[in-house]
């Protein structure tokens, strides 16, 4: 039988942390110890733990300075005693058979690591919208719920520190990139019901998480970052280039520079589509993200210049399109609403019956707002990464 240390980092979340601890104490396969790493600003969690009947399972409480989640997990590993490590967090509640199922899967499939399988729950109407445009009803592979041998954990190198979010995903990626065999249960072994309940809090949360997470997601390719930012920059400059240099009076004047640039972008995209098909499936590529922004800028510029270039601003021309800019922006908004309100939720197992006839509009609007909140966070995070050591 395996002797397991369960590690729970927490920060100020007293009530839900209590639920996590109590669910851990009542496991069908109980752990040998529970390590609580507390970065809270008060003694509330320490006092709460003191009133829990631990069923003879030691609850080792460690009060530390304010740590990010990855740092707190690493600290918990240092405080732990036993050979096997299991990770939770202060908001993800394990099912009764969590450890038992993980151990059985580990032995049956001859695995080195078992990740968590989390089901996200929603109570309020707003939480249901958040769930629909994020995780949906799918079971999500998570770091909370993971089980790993201490020697393998040390081999991987632990969780990345000094980042507020993204360290858990980066850790799983490191496990998968190693020679360790890993899987997660087909059925949910944990539940998460602490989704945001207010719009402003949600936007702030997604902005901050994307800001910090970008430092993790894009750290493996500085060239990718530099090229992506450079392409976005010159895409913004190119349409105004001849105006900036002084038109024909300047030696730097380039006739049809925008047409040339757009043609080059098209040829590059065609080359990638033919010879680098995997490029477009790499969701973590900052360059791919940059090309999407560039495409939006180019299409917006074409919409702004259509009546001037194609129709010569002659309203009687058959090519003249009244209010083309407004139509373009409305089209972009409509496509975004359909994608975020219908396609994305259905892809994540939200039923059509729940979305139709009108609820998808609310979900779509929220999804678009979250995307807008994440975009500057991602870009700013990339800039911070470039400027940091």
Domain final residue, candidates 196, 231, 264 = 196
214 within some domain: no
Considering the domain architecture, whether residues 56 and 167 belong to the same structural domain is answered as: yes
Percent pLDDT > 70 in the chain is: 78
pTM comes to 0.74
Considering the domain architecture, whether residues 70 and 168 belong to the same structural domain is answered as: yes
Q: How far is Cα 289 from Cα 299, in angstroms, rounded to an integer?
A: 16
pLDDT greater at residue 376 or residue 140: 140
Each residue of 242-273: pLDDT tens digit? 777 777 777 888 888 877 877 887 787 777 77
* Coil/strand/helix, residue 378: helix
239 within some domain: yes
Contact 167, 68 (CB under 8 A): yes
Nearest-Å Rg of the Cα atoms of the chain is 26
Considering the domain architecture, whether residues 129 and 226 belong to the same structural domain is answered as: no
Considering the domain architecture, whether residues 153 and 263 belong to the same structural domain is answered as: no
Backbone angles phi, psi at 60, to 5 degrees: -95, 110
Which of 71-75, 158-162, 239-243 is the least confident region? 239-243
Considering the domain architecture, whether residues 20 and 148 belong to the same structural domain is answered as: yes
Look at residue 187 and tell me whether its pLDDT is greater than 90: yes
Look at residue 222 and tell me whether its pLDDT is greater than 50: no
Split at pLDDT 50, 70, 90, the class of 219 is very low
324 membership: H or E segment, kind and range = helix 324-338
Domain final residue, candidates 196, 230, 245 = 196
Considering the domain architecture, whether residues 142 and 288 belong to the same structural domain is answered as: no
Q: What is the CATH number of the domain that holds 183?
A: 3.90.550.10
Considering the domain architecture, whether residues 8 and 136 belong to the same structural domain is answered as: yes
Split at pLDDT 50, 70, 90, the class of 111 is very high
Residue 322 structural domain: 222-387
Residues in the chain: 389
Residue 143: both structure tokens together: 């770091």
Query: 285, 91, 288, 268: which is closest to 194 by C-alpha?
Result: 91
Q: How far is Cα 91 from Cα 294, in angstroms, rounded to an integer?
A: 38
217 within some domain: no
Three-state SS sequence of 274-302: HHCHHHHHCCCCHHHHHHHHHHHHHHHHH
269 within some domain: yes
122 within some domain: yes
Number of domains the chain is built from? 2
Residue 364: both structure tokens together: 């779509």
Contact 203, 370 (CB under 8 A): yes
C-alpha torsion angle, residues 194, 196, 201, 207 (rounded to 10): 90
Look at residue 218 and tell me whether its pLDDT is greater than 50: no
208 within some domain: no
Considering the domain architecture, whether residues 99 and 151 belong to the same structural domain is answered as: yes
> In the prediction, which pLDDT does 306 show?
58
Each residue of 259-309: pLDDT tens digit? 787 788 778 777 777 776 666 666 556 666 667 777 776 766 666 665 555
76 membership: H or E segment, kind and range = helix 69-79
Considering the domain architecture, whether residues 79 and 129 belong to the same structural domain is answered as: yes
Considering the domain architecture, whether residues 179 and 243 belong to the same structural domain is answered as: no
Contact 226, 182 (CB under 8 A): no
pLDDT greater at residue 154 or residue 307: 154
Considering the domain architecture, whether residues 186 and 226 belong to the same structural domain is answered as: no
204 within some domain: no
Report the b/e string of 107-119 with b at 16+ CB within 10 A. Answer: eeeebbbbbbbbb
Backbone angles phi, psi at 353, to 5 degrees: -60, -35
Look at residue 95 and tell me whether its pLDDT is greater than 50: yes
Query: 147, 146, 135: which is closest to 194 by C-alpha?
Result: 135
* Coil/strand/helix, residue 27: coil
Give the mean model confidence (pLDDT) for residues 129-156: 94
230 within some domain: yes
DSSP-derived secondary structure for 52-68: S--TT--EEEEE-S---
Q: How far is Cα 33 from Cα 25, in angstroms, rounded to an integer?
A: 9
Considering the domain architecture, whether residues 185 and 302 belong to the same structural domain is answered as: no
> In the prediction, which pLDDT does 381 show?
60
Domain final residue, candidates 141, 162, 196 = 196
Contact 54, 103 (CB under 8 A): no
């Amino acid at each position: 039988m395996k002797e397991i240390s369960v590690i729970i980092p927490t920060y100020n979340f007293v009530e839900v942390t209590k639920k996590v601890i109590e669910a851990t104490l009542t496991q069908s396969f109980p752990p040998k110890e529970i390590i609580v790493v507390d970065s809270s600003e008060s003694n509330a969690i320490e006092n709460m733990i003191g009133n829990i009947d631990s069923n003879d399972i030691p609850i080792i409480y460690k009060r530390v300075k304010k740590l990010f989640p990855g740092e707190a997990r690493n600290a918990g590993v240092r405080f732990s005693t036993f050979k096997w490590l299991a990770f939770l967090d202060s908001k993800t509640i394990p099912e009764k058979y969590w450890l038992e199922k993980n151990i059985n899967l580990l032995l049956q499939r001859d695995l080195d690591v078992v990740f968590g399988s989390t089901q996200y729950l929603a109570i309020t109407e707003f939480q249901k919208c958040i769930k629909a445009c994020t995780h949906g009803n799918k079971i999500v592979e998570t770091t909370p719920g993971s089980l790993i041998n201490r020697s393998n954990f040390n081999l991987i190198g632990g969780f990345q520190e000094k980042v507020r979010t993204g360290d858990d995903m980066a850790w799983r990626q490191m496990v998968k990139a190693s020679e360790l065999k890993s899987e997660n249960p087909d059925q949910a072994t944990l539940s998460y019901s602490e989704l945001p309940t207010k719009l402003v809090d949600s936007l702030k949360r997604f902005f901050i998480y994307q800001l910090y997470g970008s430092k993790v997601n894009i750290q493996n390719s500085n060239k990718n970052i530099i090229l992506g930012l450079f392409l976005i920059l010159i895409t913004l400059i190119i349409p105004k280039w001849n105006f900036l240099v002084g038109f024909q009076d300047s030696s730097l004047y380039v006739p049809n520079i925008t047409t040339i640039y757009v043609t080059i972008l098209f040829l590059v995209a065609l080359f990638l589509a033919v010879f680098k098909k995997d490029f477009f499936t790499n969701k973590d590529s900052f360059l791919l993200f940059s090309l999407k922004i560039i495409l939006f800028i180019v299409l917006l510029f074409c919409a702004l210049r259509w009546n001037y270039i194609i129709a010569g601003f002659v309203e009687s021309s058959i090519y003249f399109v009244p209010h083309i800019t407004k139509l373009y922006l409305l089209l972009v908004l409509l496509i975004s609403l359909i994608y975020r309100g219908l396609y994305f939720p259905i892809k994540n197992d939200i039923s059509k019956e729940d979305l139709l006839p009108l609820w998808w509009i609310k979900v779509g609007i929220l999804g678009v707002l979250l995307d807008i909140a994440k975009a500057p966070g991602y870009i700013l995070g990339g800039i911070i990464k470039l400027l940091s050591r």
